[in-house]
Amino acid sequence: MTGQRSTDRPPTLGVGVDIGGTKVAAGLVDADGTILDSVSEPTPAGGKIAALVADLVDRLRDRATAPVAGIGVGAAGFVSADRSTVTFAPNIDWRDEPLGADIARLLDLPVVVENDANAAAWGEYRFGAGADSDDLLLVTIGTGVGGGVIQDGDLVRGGFGAAAEVGHLRLVRDGRLCGCGQHGCFEQYASGSALVHDARERAASDDPTAAALLARAGGVDAITGPMVTDLAQQGDPLCVDLLHDLGTWIGEGCASLAAVLDPTVIVIGGGVGAAGDLVLGPVRAAFEEHLPARFHRRVAEVRLATLGNEAGIVGAADLGRAASDRTTSTSAPADRTGD
């Protein structure tokens, strides 16, 4: 069912696609950022992702009550400046993958490919925690640390399309080895993986305060981030301390980023949100403590993301719809086009 569809109805919907290492999810999103319908399938092997994306989009189009204006695709990795080619995606082993062109040929619709954290930042800016600000920094805490930057209402992509890789801000000289090849990167201390690393290290050191965590996990190698969060919420001293350290690292990194970007709002997204104030309190304290010249400048408000795991789909769909608006010379919603 691919190809152009003739209709007299105005195109008000977008489809956002989130390509992950294990799952490809797509959502039909209206102009208010509401996901009306969604579908997903396991990520295929052998370079068949464009065909799967086209199939998911067609399923959503068949069930839609209005035409789809454009497609936005979020993927973890570097995306070319023209928002068409994934130049590097370690989770899928892509190198210079012409994803946008391949999908557009199958669907005959405008396609925008974007880094997944950038798409999430756009979603939070347009419809979520940053909807009242035109200068936003999103820091997503997951397995690694991702980020997206909005300045003066525009998504910052950089000269080569690889801006806002905030997880690789170098915080510790000769620190932990990062997957990027450098040492001491932000995500080696402020991510879900870092939390698990530190929890297992404490448990393996015969720390007596680790007894409850070891009992829950059944062994050092079975410790997970959600276990730490759950026990911290129950008041376990070690797990509270681990989340405090995580939040402190996040806050220190955000202070360094704010020294360059000067956002009015910093949005913290990802799985860390489940810990609430156990992490957010230390984030705010460390951010204010380490912000340069903090007594002589306005301090950004630190907020939790509100769109959760749907931010990337919502943001990508809005970017895809905006691309259609530019193609057809119509005005973008709320003057926020993602240019």
Q: How much is the average pLDDT of 231-245?
A: 98
Confidence (pLDDT) at 92: 82
317, 29 contact by CB (below 8 A):
yes
Across all residues in the chain, what is the average pLDDT? 92
Helix and strand counts by DSSP (H, E) for the chain? 10, 13
Residue 4 covered by a domain? no
- 2: pLDDT strictly greater than 70: no
- 8: pLDDT strictly greater than 50: no
Residues 323 and 257 in one domain: no
Q: Please give the residue range of the domain that contains residue 42.
A: 13-123+309-335
Residues 89 and 186 in one domain: no
Residue 71 covered by a domain? yes
Residues 282 and 155 in one domain: yes
Confidence of residue 12 (pLDDT cuts 50, 70, 90): confident
Residues 119 and 169 in one domain: no
- The CATH number that applies at residue 270 is 3.30.420.40
Residues 75 and 119 in one domain: yes
Confidence of residue 327 (pLDDT cuts 50, 70, 90): low
**The whole model's pTM is what?**
0.90
Residues 96 and 240 in one domain: no
Residue 5 covered by a domain? no
Q: 65-93 pLDDT, tens per residue?
A: 999 999 999 999 999 999 999 999 877 88
Does an H or E element contain 233, and which? helix 225-233
Residues 204 and 317 in one domain: no
The strand ranges marked E within 166-297 are: 265-270
Residues 169 and 274 in one domain: yes
Residues 92 and 179 in one domain: no
Confidence of residue 332 (pLDDT cuts 50, 70, 90): very low
Residues 258 and 285 in one domain: yes
Q: 314-323 pLDDT, tens per residue?
A: 999 999 998 8
Residues 116 and 152 in one domain: no
Distance CA(39)–CA(57), nearest Å, equals: 9
- 35: which strand partners? 29
- 9: pLDDT strictly greater than 60: no
Domain count, the chain: 2
- 338: pLDDT strictly greater than 70: no
Q: Which letter does DSSP use for residue 300 in this model?
A: P
Confidence (pLDDT) at 296: 93
Structure tokens at 73: 């695709």
Residues 87 and 32 in one domain: yes
Confidence (pLDDT) at 203: 96
Q: 281-310 pLDDT, tens per residue?
A: 999 999 999 999 999 999 999 999 999 999
